[in-house]
Amino acid sequence: MAAVVTGMTGFRILHTDPSSRARLGLLETAHGAVETPAFMPVGTQGTVKALDPRRLQELGVQILLCNAYHLYLRPGTDVIEHFRGLHRFIGWDKPILTDSGGYQIFSLQQLRRVSDEGVEFRSHIDGSSHVFTPERVVEIQRILGSDIMMVLDECPPYPAERRDIETAVRRTLQWASRSLRAFQQNEALYGYRQLLFGIGQGGINPDLRRFCLQELCQWDFDGFAIGGLSVGEPTEAMYEMIALSTELLPTDRPRYLMGVGTPENILTAIELGVDLFDCVLPTRNARNGQLFTTRGKINVRNARWRYSDEPLDPELNYPVSRTVTLGYLRHLFIAREVTALIIATEHNLAFYHWLLATAREKIRQGTFRQWKRSFLERLQQAEVPTTHEVPPCP
């Protein structure tokens, strides 16, 4: 891998859908360009669970998401600094976005104490005590060397008192401002430019979300994220918040909807003008035996697939989807073979990759809305009955 990469950074809109806010873009980072809309597989601890980096490359994954909080705790920034960054540590020379880990810390509940200064928390691994401030989180992501760094924000749970959401918005804004200052005052460690994205909060309160984003948009972030959604609120409320956000956000900066979601969520958000996505759904559900396919969700552990010699999804142009059969994959799950996790994860990421690539193609052709409608109808009609439920994306 090249020691130092110094590409152009920036964002360009290549094409806009005539009948929606959907846009085709190119996000240039130091480790290469990302065609948007794009889905980022979740590699929390420096790997997508049950997939090695080489397989990710073969799948055509454009950009990987890792988690600053997790990597700070383990292996520790000393290790990653010794390797001169996350790319060299994990052997991945394409773009990486690191989430600050704010979401994970605020999920700790019993283990954290938050103040305007920052958040004190106990490690979920060994109970040791740590403090994250906005400045420290930027510093950690300097060491990680991620192409896109995320500010520390406060993500309130759902439901939450209005007062608590107001506090979270106020802190998120203060922290965003401090993060940006820390980012501008310190140089990159490894000779290439990193980007910093701000994050909007506000729960499902239109006025708070509008206020938060209006403030945030005044600052010179490289991109903006819509945070605090897909945490249990009704889907319609989520869509409303996304619509409201993309109306306010500058058109010349990438927009990242954090932690979302299902194929339907993603296509709807693309229609509303979102450019970047991440979610554990395809990878986590894969490990539970739930496959995303062009003919709907399939619970491959179901006895009905026992004799099935159908491929996982013959419409996808990936070896894993076209050659592995449902019967074989079911056997691997029932026999508790790790290989089941590998195959299901690879297939689900292949499906998401195909979904986003097709969305881009349809935006380019100006037929995104029609395709979206007919594809979602088809998914709905084709929905294959399952025997057990899979937990929703957190």
Does position 162 interact with a second copy (CB under 8 A)? The reply is no
- The one-letter amino acid code at 255 reads R
252 is catalytic: no
User: What is the bridge-based pairing of β-strands 119-122 and 129-132?
Assistant: antiparallel
Nearer to a second copy, 93 or 215 (CB): 93
Does position 281 interact with a second copy (CB under 8 A)? The reply is no
**Shortest CB 49 distance to a second copy, Å:** 6
Give the x-and-dash track for 227-256 against a second copy (CB under 8 A). Answer: ------------------------------
Nearest Cα to 261, choosing from 245, 276, 240? Answer: 276
Q: Which of 147, 275, 278, 313 is catalytic?
A: 278
Of the candidate spans 155-163, 166-174, 241-249, 321-329, the one that interacts with a second copy by CB under 8 A turns out to be 321-329
Query: Which one of 51, 64, 148, 363 is in contact with a second copy (CB under 8 A)?
Result: 51
Instruction: Compute the Cα dihedral for 250, 27, 276, 137 and give only its sign.
Output: negative
Ramachandran sector of residue 113 (left: φ over 0; alpha: ψ -120 to 50; beta: rest): beta
CA distance 384 to 282: 17
Does position 304 interact with a second copy (CB under 8 A)? The reply is no
Query: Which one of 117, 187, 337, 383 is in contact with a second copy (CB under 8 A)?
Result: 337
Does position 117 interact with a second copy (CB under 8 A)? The reply is no
Does position 301 interact with a second copy (CB under 8 A)? The reply is no
Nearer to a second copy, 89 or 183 (CB): 89
Nearer to a second copy, 173 or 344 (CB): 344
Q: 9 and 328 in contact (C-beta within 8 Å)? A: no
Does position 189 interact with a second copy (CB under 8 A)? The reply is no
Nearest Cα to 345, choosing from 277, 284, 265, 262? Answer: 284
Does position 373 interact with a second copy (CB under 8 A)? The reply is no
Query: Which one of 286, 332, 355, 359 is in contact with a second copy (CB under 8 A)?
Result: 332
Question: Which residues is 113 bridged to in the sheet?
Answer: 120
Beta strand segments in 30-128, E = 32-36, 38-40, 64-67, 96-99, 112-114, 119-122
Which residues within the stretch 91-110 sit at the binding site for a second copy (CB under 8 A)?
91
**Alpha helices (runs of H) in the chain, residue ranges in sequence order:** 53-59, 68-71, 77-82, 86-90, 102-107, 134-144, 162-185, 206-216, 235-248, 263-271, 281-287, 319-323, 326-334, 338-365, 368-382
Phi and psi at residue 145, in whole multiples of 5°? 70, 25
- The one-letter amino acid code at 125 reads I
Does position 323 interact with a second copy (CB under 8 A)? The reply is yes
Does position 49 interact with a second copy (CB under 8 A)? The reply is yes
Does position 4 interact with a second copy (CB under 8 A)? The reply is no
Query: Which one of 32, 75, 157, 206 is in contact with a second copy (CB under 8 A)?
Result: 75
Residue 8 burial class via C-beta count within 10 angstroms: exposed 0-12, middle 13-18, buried 19 and up? exposed
State how far the alpha carbon of 330 is from the alpha carbons of 112, 280, 287, 326, in Å. Answer: 41, 22, 12, 6
Query: Which one of 12, 82, 113, 373 is in contact with a second copy (CB under 8 A)?
Result: 82
Query: Which one of 4, 6, 18, 54 is in contact with a second copy (CB under 8 A)?
Result: 54
278 is catalytic: yes
**Shortest CB 54 distance to a second copy, Å:** 6
Instruction: Compute the Cα dihedral for 188, 189, 191, 192 and give only its sign.
Output: negative
**Shortest CB 354 distance to a second copy, Å:** 18
Query: Which one of 12, 113, 162, 306 is in contact with a second copy (CB under 8 A)?
Result: 306
**Shortest CB 57 distance to a second copy, Å:** 10
**Shortest CB 225 distance to a second copy, Å:** 26
Nearer to a second copy, 8 or 338 (CB): 338
**Alpha helices (runs of H) in 6-156, residue ranges in sequence order:** 53-59, 68-71, 77-82, 86-90, 102-107, 134-144
Q: Please tell me whether residue 301 adopts helix, strand or coil conformation.
A: coil
Nearest Cα to 393, choosing from 203, 259, 293? Answer: 259
Annotated catalytic sites, by residue?
99, 278
Residues that bind a second copy (CB under 8 A): 45-52, 54, 74-75, 79, 82-83, 88-91, 306-307, 309, 319-320, 323-325, 327-328, 330-332, 334-335, 337-339, 341-343, 346
